[in-house]
Amino acid sequence: MNILLASSEAVPFAKTGGLADVCGTLPHALAELGHRVGVIIPAYRAIWCLGKPIRPLGLEFIVPVGSKMVSGQLLECPGDVPGVTYYFVRQDYYYDRDELYTVHGQDYADNCERFVFFCRAVMEAVRLLDFRPDVLHANDWQTGLVPVYRRTLYAHAPEFQRTACVITVHNMAFQGDFWHWDMLLTGLDWSYFNWQQMEFYGKLNFLKCGFVFADAINTVSPRYAQEIQTPQFGCGLDGVLRSRSDVLRGILNGVDYNVWNPATDTSIARNYDEGSVREGKAECKRALQAEAGLPVEDRTPLVGIVSRLTYQKGSDLIVSVLPQWLTRENVQWVILGRGDPTMEQQLLELAQAYPQRLCVRLDHSEALARRIQAGADLFLMPSRFEPCGLTQLQALKYGTVPVVREVGGLADTITDFSPESLADGSANGFRFAGEDGESLSAALRRACEIYRDADTWYRLVRNGMTQDWSWRRTAPQYEALYRETLARLYPDAVRP
């Protein structure tokens, strides 16, 4: 099959979160299954910083955005895996900026216009490129109009006559809500601005548009696919998703073990695998403690956190329990991330008050994230909701035991420790259900108790390290989703 993924970001070129990891690494696994895969993203300023061989294709287009005619160019870069090609939409007024979506923490005022243009550009790219997709795979709200255009303005274009359109939602909290008059930017008839299609409580909602017009809907874990059909997790769109439950699927994200692997990671103090994890992690732990300014204590549990510091991620719960842990428990903490300014300040004040127990780095350093994964004993994720989560899967590979709240992909990937689950090889971490600090602390204490029994602890560690959470495990499920959708739409078509 020919598969084109449209996204607002993809590693290694542009990243703000897990969306980029998925759209940068899933294509590799699909190509290894024998498919031809393209990835198309905006040509942000950041894409030029990597020294990759990006070249103009000499293909230009002009599309209407509201009352303006806006031009764009297509660029190309070969992927690191045969069968994968990256395409970029160049429009410097929209994308030659310091950040992808925000300035000084506020959304760009023209984000609607920027991504209306990008969605139209994706459609024009298909018409211009030597790449006719069997599957056009949109991702998140920034590409939510792609399914709409496929079914409306481009419905009769010959390039799309045998194309299925799939949309994946990576986080329901981000929907692309805009002023109703921004409907004029889309070039679509006002008749589509109704409660059943593009309107959402008086606003234009890109994500709802994608859900309504796509041929299939996907999200990033089976449990999250169920959760988002409820008022608690659906962020107002649960009714829309329930109405389309027959084409809604949940497929777990995967980890690229060519990138996230302690046996080959050049960022960490010592390489190791499940056979040498005791010695390897001990050295990485000592190196992390020294880097963080913490006492080098081999048998003191070290808790690692790599996260956006937000309410969604449960960072406020961490702030609420830290004073008690820092004063009463012999446990060390290393926290890496950025987010809510109030939470950042509270964490910094605690780190200043307890420098022997807590290190806080307000940064997005991937190298330090890797050293935390390798050096920590426990990895804490108390998320209020978590579509899938990638850092807990990375932690498993690095032998760092996750402590997670029982939601979304965390519940799908982390099996709670018990003598029975340890014996059958499924145990790989600790889970808690409550949305409060007491539940979090209880799970952490349970984990610290098991940590004192080194033999039991390393059985648990090896369980996690030997489980397969790679794209090779889940990419075939995407392949099956694509084939099933194509067969439903075009039952007479012959597909490779």
DSSP output for 203-246: EEEHHHHHHHH-SEEEES-HHHHHHTTSTTTSTT-HHHHHHTGG
CA-based Rg of the chain, rounded to a whole angstrom? 23
For residue 496, what pLDDT is reported?
A: 61
C-alpha torsion 485→490→494→496, nearest 10: -20
Q: How far is CA 266 from the centre of its chain?
A: 23
**b/e string for 403-434 if b means 16 or more Cβ within 10 A?**
bbbbbbbbbbbbbbbeeeebeeeebbbbbbee
Q: What is the separation, in whole angstroms, between the first and last Cα of the chain?
A: 6
Among residues 84, 76, 75, 74, the alpha carbon closest in space to that of 23 is found at 84
Strand partners, 76: 55, 87
Sign of the torsion formed by the C-alpha atoms of 39, 44, 50 and 53: positive
pLDDT (tens digit, 9 = 90+) per residue, 125-168?
999 998 899 999 999 999 999 999 999 999 999 999 999 999 99
pLDDT (tens digit, 9 = 90+) per residue, 436-473?
999 999 999 999 999 999 999 999 999 999 999 999 99
368 confidence band (pLDDT: 50, 70, 90) = very high
Name residue 124's amino acid.
E
pLDDT (tens digit, 9 = 90+) per residue, 30-64?
999 999 999 999 999 999 999 999 999 999 999 99
Of 101-105, 212-216, 253-257, 287-291, the poorest mean pLDDT is in 101-105
Average pLDDT over every residue of 368-378 = 98
Instruction: Please tell me whether the peptide bond between 12 and the residue prior to it is cis, using omega within 30 degrees of 0.
Output: yes
> What CA–CA distance (Å, rounded) separates 462 from 455?
11
pLDDT over 90, % of the chain:
96
Among residues 294, 288, 358, 272, the alpha carbon closest in space to that of 321 is found at 358
Region of 104 (left: φ > 0; alpha: ψ -120 to 50; beta: rest) is left
Across the beta sheet with 36-42, the strand order is 55-65, 68-78, 84-90, 36-42, 2-6, 135-139, 164-169, 216-219, 248-250
E strand segments, 8-107:
36-42, 55-65, 68-78, 84-90, 102-103, 106-107
Contact criterion met (CB below 8 Å) for 273 and 260: no
For residue 492, what pLDDT is reported?
A: 85
- Domains of the chain and any CATH numbers: 2-254+472-489 (3.40.50.2000), 277-468 (3.40.50.2000)
How many residues are given for the chain?
496
User: Model pTM?
Assistant: 0.94
Alpha helices in 266-337 (DSSP H): 277-292, 315-328
> What CA–CA distance (Å, rounded) separates 475 from 83?
15
Contact criterion met (CB below 8 Å) for 144 and 11: no
Q: Which helix (H) or strand (E) holds 335?
A: strand 332-336
Contact criterion met (CB below 8 Å) for 132 and 2: yes
pLDDT (tens digit, 9 = 90+) per residue, 402-433?
999 999 999 999 999 999 999 999 999 999 99
Q: In the 8-state DSSP scheme, what is residue 390? A: S
Contact criterion met (CB below 8 Å) for 185 and 112: yes
Name residue 198's amino acid.
M
Sign of the torsion formed by the C-alpha atoms of 317, 319, 321 and 325: positive
Whether 495 has a pLDDT exceeding 80, the answer reads no
